[in-house]
Structure 1
């Protein structure tokens, strides 16, 4: 089932399945900002990535001597969330651990996601509660896909309100593992701007670490902004499917990422991993602003 909230500028639709944004319409011209999940290119719109971002090395992790197998980006995106509340400008969802999640992930948790409309911005708020008797380890991230053209459009990278001179991206290995290689590519930018193309995404996602930027904006062919993602996260990804010339790009705020090729698979040792003591909570948000 879908839930809808709207204000004078935006109309937001979210599915109970995966607590996934399915539509974001700019009312001034009825423009759909979100990719509409055409499976010929990519059959999702804005999945929630939890409790892993990217892939475990060899799709496995080890915790307290036990092996847990989990596919790319975790299980939250494929589960029905509990719809908790609808207010004038807010939708709230919850997902809690159960027998099925324990098969892939050892910990008890509660994940709460809220979507809040404020003027021309959607705030996406994450809360992870540790309901386990021990310290838990997790990653969380977003994967929103925005309609655009790789032929004509641009990306603008900014940090603390200023354009970035260059972006260095870690490269996904070409062995089919979905994990990170040791290769890096550096993109020199002109006033923070990178022209999009199939070539930019020819090696899969750009994995951009170390808080190199905190805001990414998609610009049209006239270099006018039409959507901005604010990423207060330690790293983020930028992705469009390899070799498909897809009419969208994903800008992905992450707390966590895929393992490196050859990683020892120990869950508590994952790079960019997060952990919580019993009864503690993790809180964060990112923002999508329609220009």
Structure 2
């Protein structure tokens, strides 16, 4: 079920299935900024990535000598969240560990997803509680897909990503569903990544520890802009299904297994640890303008 919030400048709709952002509109122009989830290309719009980001080596991991299996990006995105608050400008969802999650992930938790609008800016807050007395290992990430509509006048090459600062950085390349240690130089003292039809032919562009803390998706031929503040996140990735009219802006605290991963959860690159009864919070902000 979809839950609508608005501040009079922007409007968002979030589905209780996966607490997934389905729509984000700039009301002055009634322009939709989210991908339409066309299943021919990619049937999601903004999945919540928890308790892992990316893929595990061989689809499994071990913890305290026991082996568990889990699919890419974890299981939160495929579960129904409870709505615990719904107001005009804010909605809060809750997903808790249960008998089924414990078969894949041996930790007891509460995951809160809070969406709120203020001054045309959508805030997405991730709040995690470790409800056991034992330490808990996890990752958290976002995967929103923003539309890049094309027509006879506007091509995909008219869109570009722009960081707040000039960057010199390499990408962490994927080998299947895992990450190679052989980084590839990609940005050289520039703010921009120009989009092309085949930019993502080898999958996502993954960056770690950039200087910039926000990035915008812009078009050279109109005033359409999406700006994301991802200052709470260590990694930022960009992805598109070749041929589809969207680009994902993906802030992560966590990453897929590297090809040489040991398979032990507590040794996983990018993994976060929460002490018993501990709490964790991270947030990102999205502003759309038409």
- Residue of structure 2 equivalent to 1:192: 191
Give the SS at the match of 2:172. strand
Is 1:157 matched with 2:156?
no
Work out which of the residue numbers 160, 165, 172 in structure 2 matches 1:170: 172
Which residue in the other structure is 2:246 paired with?
248
SS at match of 2:110: strand
**CA drift at 1:41:** 0.9
Q: Deviations over 1:95-114 (max 9, x none)?
A: 00001001110100000010
1:186-222 deviations in Å (ceiling 9; x for gaps): 2336751111113321210111112343111011024
Distance 2:13 2:4 in 1: 5
Is 1:3 the counterpart of 2:37 in the alignment? no
Map of 2:225 onto structure 1? 226
Deviations 1:34-91 (A, max 9, x none): 0010011100000000000001111111000000100000000000001110122110
User: Which residue does the alignment assign to 2:112?
Assistant: 112
Matches within 5 A, 1:86-105: 86-105=86-105
Secondary structure of the structure 1 residue equivalent to 2:196: coil
Distance across 1 between alignment mates of 2:173 and 2:190 = 24
Describe how 1:54-73 pairs up with structure 2 within 5 A. Answer: 54-73=54-73
Partner of 2:125 in structure 1?
Answer: 125
* Kept after mapping to 1: 8 A contact 2:167/2:210: no
Q: 1: CA distance between counterparts of 2:147 and 2:224?
A: 13
SS of residue in 2 equivalent to 1:41: coil
- Tell me how many residue pairs correspond in the alignment: 282
For the residue of structure 1 that corresponds to 2:38, the secondary structure is coil
* Distance in 2 of aligned mates of 1:103 and 1:60: 12
CA contact (8 A) 1:166 1:192 kept: no
TM-score (structure 2 length as normaliser): 0.94
1: CA distance, partners of 2:141 / 2:135: 20
- 1:279 alignment counterpart: 277
Secondary structure of the equivalent of 1:48?
A: coil
Match of 1:207 in 2: 206
Report the TM-score when normalising by structure 1. 0.93
Does the Cα contact within 8 Å between 1:61 and 1:68 map onto a contact in 2?
yes
Q: Secondary structure at the match of 2:100?
A: helix
- Structure 1 residues 15 and 71: CA distance shift in structure 2, 3 A: same
Alpha-carbon distance between aligned partners in 1 of 2:92 and 2:213, rounded to the nearest angstrom = 25
Unaligned 5+ runs, structure 2: 150-155
Q: Any conservation in 2 of the 1:237–1:253 contact (CA below 8 Å)?
A: yes
Stretches of 4+ aligned residues off by more than 3 angstroms: 188-191, 222-225
